[in-house]
Amino acid sequence: MRKWLVSILTVVLVLVVSACGSKDTNGTAGDSNKVTVGSSGSDAQAWQFIAKSDAAKKAGLDITVKEFSDGLQINNATADGLVDVNAFQSLSYFQDYNKQKDNALVAISTTYLEPMGIYSQKIKSIDKIPNGVEVAIPNDAANTARALRVLKAAGLITLKPDFISFSGVNSIASNPKNLKFTEVDGKTTARVLPDVDLALVGNSVALDAGLNSVKDSIYHEEINQDTEANINILVTKKGRENDKTLAKLHDLYHTKEVQDYIKKEFGGTKIPVDKPVDSIIDNK
């Protein structure tokens, strides 16, 4: 009789331990209403508002925002399951990371598009740029290529026919003004403005520096929702692309309450893109 009771208790204990151990292997995946969002800068600010919003309550979501200092940290934390989803990056940045990390991440939602701008404390107009000026551009592949596309659109350079989303300065076909390029950490592009003639600054970095890409730049990207490489997305680790809780984040982001806040707080520099993520990327 005693052996029989011991056997039953052992089975019960194993089941309890197994249930507890299976609760959470991917961030907060074991709690169907809890989501940890990895982010930084103005995006973290936006998601902190979203976490406290009535829209989040109505969706039944308990959101925690975890801030990081740079994009690589955020993506690594997402791939490792330390956060459930991240909100900070463009499609091209995501693709560059996945190229290096064996497709560890998947995109699950579109959020917005924001323009990269050309800024200067010394030059007041794009058509007044003299020869030989120093230009600071971000040093990560995706944003280097993006900066070069902006310079091309501004009429300052041309690019080789084989230019792709991860091409560098060696893909410049012509540089009639003999621009001198200095590659710097993307987070410092606004900070180095006093030391260079021009700087290509992403909008999130510009906002952190108190700059508005539409009002303060001497040139900025055309705001075009069809510019797919520049659309920002929500990203999770591979294998969680069909998570029903994470799927709620798309509709939550695009609620009127959230969009009204983002438009007012960020001066119209985060243009909402409400389209299926599969229309801009193939996660397979």
The CATH number given to whatever domain includes residue 206 is: 3.40.190.10
Assigned token pair, 41: 């800068």
Do 250 and 211 fall within a single domain?
no
What does DSSP assign to residue 129?
P
pLDDT score of 64 more than 90 = yes
Question: 160 is in which domain, residue-wise?
Answer: 117-220
Residue 70: inside a domain: yes
Other C-beta atoms closer than 10 Å to the C-beta of 242 total 9
Do 208 and 147 fall within a single domain?
yes
Do 269 and 128 fall within a single domain?
no
Domains contained in the chain, number:
2
Do 171 and 38 fall within a single domain?
no
pLDDT category at 183 given cuts 50, 70, 90 is very high
Instruction: Give the span between the Cα atoms of 179 and 91, in whole angstroms.
Output: 28
With 0-12 / 13-18 / 19 or more C-beta atoms within 10 angstroms meaning exposed / middle / buried, residue 5 is exposed
Other C-beta atoms closer than 10 Å to the C-beta of 221 total 21
Query: Which of these ranges, 20-24, 63-67, 168-172, 240-244, has the smallest mean pLDDT?
Result: 20-24
Residue 181: inside a domain: yes
Cβ pair 88, 180 in contact under 8 A: no
pLDDT score of 8 more than 60 = no
Assigned token pair, 138: 């971000």
For 90-131, how does the pLDDT look when each residue is reduced to its tens digit (9 = 90+)? 998 999 899 999 999 999 999 999 899 999 999 999 999 999
Do 92 and 180 fall within a single domain?
no
Q: What is the pTM of this model?
A: 0.76
